[in-house]
């Protein structure tokens, strides 16, 4: 057992250090000097010109969402179901018009552009050839307690990782490419391999460099393309994907002065599942906040130089949490080489790797505790105490793992609080009504559930908690409404009950029409083999008039349109299982007669 104050040196540590310093006597094959993207070097719009990110309110059905999008000439391209966000395609010339229309739709929580976001690196500096940063953060001493672990995986949300690099090969666990929608996680730009190496390159193997948490595994998640730019949607998808697979540490070496509700919701989702998210503070050398570093539930990391000063390029501000070395960091590069790099792109994964050391020491610690340990055991630089340049100080790996060794698991017994803000109790409602719920917790709210007359109406996992209640599907009368808020520990908080009276005009339909519509598929052909994206079109006719068409795939309602004789749905099958899939179209008339057709498609 290792207690604070003990100084323990093992033979393994000297072997590691010897391997590192022997490295400096060998010849170097330096990595390529990356062309660094910037606000004016993109050569295109700052956001994807034909995409929007849309979050319908909780309680809005898939059919209703599809109808809303169809009315605007938009189609669903992808989705992030964990946070209820749809990535939609719209004609580029109509982007702003569609954005404004959706923003004013009562069923929509928010709509935003899918911005590009740039990596936080600056050009290579090949003149500095030592891993000074490991000594500065007391990594060699920390390795006598923890070197990370296979269970303390670090997700690198970046441009991919070189799987054949001798200092990274064998360390990678299954990741995903969120730009190409496949499992190819090779580095398409060269940034991700550098980030991964600074965090967890293999040590004590007689070659190359040593990462901070060199026994931790790396999960490569590709969010950037060959230009180096990521998108909000790719980062959000990767964040929720990693969280669902139990990853405890995530690193984002990207930054933008523009914030994103979609990515913030994804970060909150991961945080509530126990993950700790690290982000680069930025390289603007000023206090302008960069997102996601400036967001909630993110550890923002500024960069220090070998002189213990703030690196000349590093962003700073009251939103910075901690600092870590980020100037002239020796690391792995694409193609099996090595290079010296600078930027908060590298201070962030170094701090993230210290978190992995802490988790490797004591896996029972919560993300709240790990973050607290990093801050409380950092080396105070600059003004005494917290400051805008170094945050709580430069991470100290050794002091952090010693603190983790003796730390006790945090038991959360505090229930969240919840209250229904609107409607007020006794209110009369009609049509579509928004139910707003306020919820808070000492750690974090994981979800809010709304019950109407004792039955679960909908669940919202992202704040602000807003539910779209279509009262036209309910009989007129008085309804009891209550909300429950949950946290990650399973504590539950209940709101006060309210009552609301539904009062909608009653429309009488003539029973004389008994002829159902006829409906058929225009495309694709029956029993077709499909791949990637396929357009499904259904057409319907009726003796009086078609009121609505619905499309079901494998029993799930995927699209609905009212007042039209045809329905078109773009089905993204990239993540669909192999085999047969049943597709059903239903057409309704005003008398509620139903016509049905079915086909089978194969992947």
Q: What's the CA gap between 71 and 568, in Å, rounded?
A: 12
465-470 β-sheet, strand order: 417-422, 432-440, 465-470
Residue 314 CA: distances (Å) to CA of 68, 199, 303, 390, 492: 44, 19, 6, 10, 42
Phi, psi at 87, each rounded to 5°:
-95, 115
The active-site residue out of 107, 133, 165, 191 is 191
**Coil, helix or strand at residue 82:** helix
| Catalytic residue flag (residue 93) | no
| Catalytic residue flag (residue 191) | yes
First vs last C-alpha separation in the chain: 56
Q: C-alpha angle with apex 137: 134 to 142, nearest 5 degrees? A: 85
Strands 566-572 and 254-255: unpaired
Q: What's the CA gap between 554 and 110, in Å, rounded?
A: 29
Tokens of 478: 């008085």
566-572 β-sheet, strand order: 518-523, 533-541, 566-572
Strands 465-470 and 249-252: unpaired
Contacts of 586 (CB under 8 A, 6+ apart): 519, 549, 550, 552, 594, 595, 596
The active-site residue out of 78, 158, 321, 441 is 158
The active-site residue out of 345, 347, 495, 560 is 345
**How many C-beta atoms lie closer than 10 Å to residue 456's C-beta?**
10
- CA dihedral (31, 33, 37, 41) in degrees, to 10, reads -150
| Catalytic residue flag (residue 7) | no
Q: What's the CA gap between 470 and 448, in Å, rounded?
A: 19
Helix (H) or strand (E) holding 182, with range, is none
Q: What's the CA gap between 555 and 389, in Å, rounded?
A: 55
* Active centre residues (catalytic): 158, 191, 345
């Amino acid at each position: 057992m290792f207690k604070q104050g003990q100084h323990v040196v093992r033979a393994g540590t000297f072997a590691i250090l010897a391997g590192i310093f022997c490295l400096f006597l060998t010849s170097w094959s330096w990595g390529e000097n990356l062309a660094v993207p910037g606000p004016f070097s993109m050569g295109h719009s700052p956001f994807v010109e034909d995409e929007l990110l849309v979050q319908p309110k909780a309680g809005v059905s898939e059919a209703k969402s599809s109808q809303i999008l169809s009315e605007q000439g938009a189609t669903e391209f992808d989705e992030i179901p964990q946070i209820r966000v749809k990535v939609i395609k719209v004609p580029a010339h109509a982007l702003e018009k569609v954005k404004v229309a959706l923003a004013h739709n009562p069923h929509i929580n928010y709509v935003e552009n899918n911005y590009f976001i740039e990596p936080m690196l600056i050009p290579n500096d090949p003149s500095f050839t030592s891993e000074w940063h490991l000594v500065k953060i007391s990594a060699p001493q920390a390795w006598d307690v923890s070197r990370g672990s296979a269970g303390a995986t670090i997700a690198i949300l970046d441009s991919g990782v070189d799987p054949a690099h001798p200092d990274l090969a064998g360390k990678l666990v299954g990741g995903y490419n969120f730009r190409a929608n496949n499992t190819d996680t090779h580095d398409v730009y060269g940034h991700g391999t550098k980030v991964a190496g600074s965090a967890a390159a293999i040590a004590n193997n007689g070659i190359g460099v040593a990462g901070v948490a060199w026994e931790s595994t790396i999960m490569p998640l590709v969010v950037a393309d060959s230009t180096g730019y990521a998108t909000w949607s790719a980062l959000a998808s990767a964040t929720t994907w990693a969280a669902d697979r139990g990853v405890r540490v995530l690193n984002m070496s990207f930054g933008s002065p523009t914030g994103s509700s979609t990515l913030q919701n994804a970060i909150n989702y991961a945080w509530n599942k126990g993950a700790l998210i690290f982000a680069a503070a930025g390289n603007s050398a000023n206090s302008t906040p960069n997102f996601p570093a400036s967001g909630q539930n993110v550890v923002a990391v500024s960069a220090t130089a070998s002189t213990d000063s703030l690196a000349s390029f590093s962003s700073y501000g009251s939103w910075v949490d901690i600092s870590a070395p980020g100037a002239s960091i020796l690391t792995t590069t694409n193609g099996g080489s090595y290079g010296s790099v600078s930027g908060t792109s590298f201070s962030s994964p170094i701090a993230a790797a210290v978190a992995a050391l802490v988790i490797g020491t004591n896996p029972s610690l919560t993300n709240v505790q790990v973050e607290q340990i990093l801050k409380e055991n950092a080396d105070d630089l600059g003004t005494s105490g917290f400051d805008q340049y170094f945050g709580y100080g430069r991470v100290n790996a050794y002091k952090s793992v010693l603190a983790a060794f003796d730390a006790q698991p945090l038991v959360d017994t505090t229930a969240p609080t919840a209250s229904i803000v609107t409607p007020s109790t006794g209110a009369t409602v009609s049509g579509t009504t928004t139910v707003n719920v306020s919820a808070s917790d000492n750690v974090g709210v994981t979800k809010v559930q709304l019950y109407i007359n004792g039955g679960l109406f909908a669940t919202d996992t992202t704040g602000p908690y807003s539910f779209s209640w279509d009262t036209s599907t309910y009989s007129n009368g008085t309804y009891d409404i209550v909300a429950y808020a949950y946290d990650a520990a399973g504590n539950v908080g209940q709101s006060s009950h309210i009552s609301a009276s539904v009062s909608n005009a009653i429309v009488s339909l003539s029973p004389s029409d008994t002829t159902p519509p006829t409906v058929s598929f225009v495309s694709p052909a029956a029993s077709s083999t499909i791949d990637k994206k396929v357009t499904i079109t259904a057409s319907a006719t009726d003796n009086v008039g078609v009121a609505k068409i619905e499309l079901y795939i494998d029993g799930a309602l995927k699209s609905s349109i009212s007042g039209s004789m045809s329905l078109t749905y773009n089905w993204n099958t990239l993540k669909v299982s192999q085999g047969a899939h049943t597709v059903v179209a239903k057409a309704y008339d005003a008398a509620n007669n139903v016509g049905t057709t079915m086909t089978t498609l194969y992947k």
